Amino acid sequence: MLSHSEYRLTPQEHEALQESLDHFLKGVPLPYILGYWEFFGRTFQLTPDVLIPRPETEMLVEFALQHAQGLHSCRIIDIGTGSGCIAISLAAELPEATVFGVDLSMAALRIAQKNARYHNLPHIHFIQADLLSSFSTQFDLICANLPYIPTRTLDALPVSRWEPRLALDGGQSGMETIRRLLVQAKTRMAPNSVLLLEVESTLGASTLASAQEVFPNAYHQLVPDLTGLDRMIKIQLISDDHL
């Protein structure tokens, strides 16, 4: 409109623009108004059924690629896949990998499947499940961006008004879902595999302690984001031939 000031909106376009403006003034996040957002150089369709992808989560994808690019026939699972942005980014960069995306929300999985088709990656396996409970096989790479906001904190945050509570509420401590995943992952991690877990910045140390308790013989790393805040836990199993 700015570059074509002579253009006149149709009644339908004017109505759509007014509706979007009304949503914006009410505080609806811009990605939900637009219906899409960018992540790791790709566009993902969004609805309020899924979290808005954050720039800090791109670090998890970068670490995942560093590990997986040296593997042959890598099996990857993205827990709490939401829009599918992590699973799809990895599948696009690692065409030989077998990629799964898991979520409790069927509405979220429908968005993830739509995004996979948009990016011509229909071979990603999207499954409705509670963490790793539906799997008996082992994985070379487990990625997870789970609910990690303590319940007592969540209601005071703007995200609680618009984004899905199921994807945000980490229980009383903020770590209930994370602890369950750590326990389940013990039997689902292949030798030399890696688990990458995004964490709430104030829970980095306690999440690391839980990881060290569940995986006492693994390599652990607490990774800060670009602002210096604790953002990710890396757990790598070390087999005897790598000692």
For residue range 108-124, list pLDDT tens digits in order.
999 999 999 999 999 99
How far, CA to CA in Å, does 15 sit from each of 10, 11, 25, 88, 232?
9, 6, 15, 34, 43
Task: Give residue-wise pLDDT tens across range 179-227.
Answer: 999 999 999 999 999 999 999 999 999 999 999 999 999 999 999 999 9
Quote the pLDDT of residue 73.
Answer: 84
Query: Quick one: tokens of 144?
Result: 């997870």
Domain regions of the chain by residue span:
35-242
What pLDDT score does 191 carry?
94
As a whole number of angstroms, the distance between CA 214 and CA 179 comes to: 9
pLDDT at 149: 87
35-242 classified as CATH 3.40.50.300: no
Q: What is the pLDDT of residue 2?
A: 47
* Four-residue CA torsion sign, 71, 144, 217, 187: negative
Q: Are strands 75-79 and 42-45 parallel, antiparallel or unpaired?
A: unpaired
What CA–CA distance (Å, rounded) separates 188 from 138? Answer: 4
Amino acid 197 reads: L
Query: What is the pLDDT tens value at each position of the chain, 243 positions in all?
Result: 445 555 666 766 556 656 666 555 666 789 999 999 999 999 999 999 999 999 999 999 999 999 998 787 899 999 999 999 999 999 999 999 999 999 999 999 999 999 999 999 999 999 999 999 999 999 999 999 999 888 888 888 888 888 899 898 888 888 999 999 999 999 999 999 999 999 999 999 999 999 999 999 999 999 999 999 999 999 999 875 544
